[in-house]
């Protein structure tokens, strides 16, 4: 399993608009490519010197080849759309992660 992780710092002036767009438009569009099996958005718990709020969005996929298809067919248009909508008020970088092991707690809490 692989994770395509995008970490973004969002300027406060567009924060609510960006977050709503991510939940209602962007993440569903990413999943509709059928290249990713799940998506998770998390707030990074850090105070940024430059201000804003930082999020990590993680998209799960099955292979490096699938990521290559995403980059070839979709990435340029998605980056263009983000720039058009939010300009320089969203600063992002991406990383690719390979899941080595996954474990879950077996405890049942009431």
Q: Given pLDDT bands bounded at 50, 70 and 90, which one contains residue 110?
A: low
CATH class of residue range 2-98? alpha beta
Domain positions in the chain: 2-98
Express each pLDDT in 67-83 by its tens digit. Answer: 999 999 999 999 999 99
**How many Å apart are CA 8 and CA 32, to the nearest integer?**
21
Give me the pLDDT at residue 4, please.
Answer: 97
Percent of the chain with pLDDT over 70: 97
**How many Å apart are CA 83 and CA 75, to the nearest integer?**
12
């Amino acid at each position: 399993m692989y994770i395509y992780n995008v970490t973004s710092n969002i300027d406060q002036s567009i924060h609510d608009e960006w977050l709503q767009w991510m939940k209602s438009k962007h993440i569903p569009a990413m999943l509709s490519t059928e290249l990713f099996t799940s998506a998770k958005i998390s707030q990074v718990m850090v105070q940024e010197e430059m201000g804003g709020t930082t999020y990590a969005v993680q998209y799960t996929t099955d292979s490096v080849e699938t990521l290559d298809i995403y980059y070839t067919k979709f990435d340029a248009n998605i980056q263009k759309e983000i720039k058009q909508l939010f300009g320089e008020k969203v600063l992002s970088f991406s990383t690719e992660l390979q899941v080595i092991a996954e474990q879950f707690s077996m405890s049942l809490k009431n």
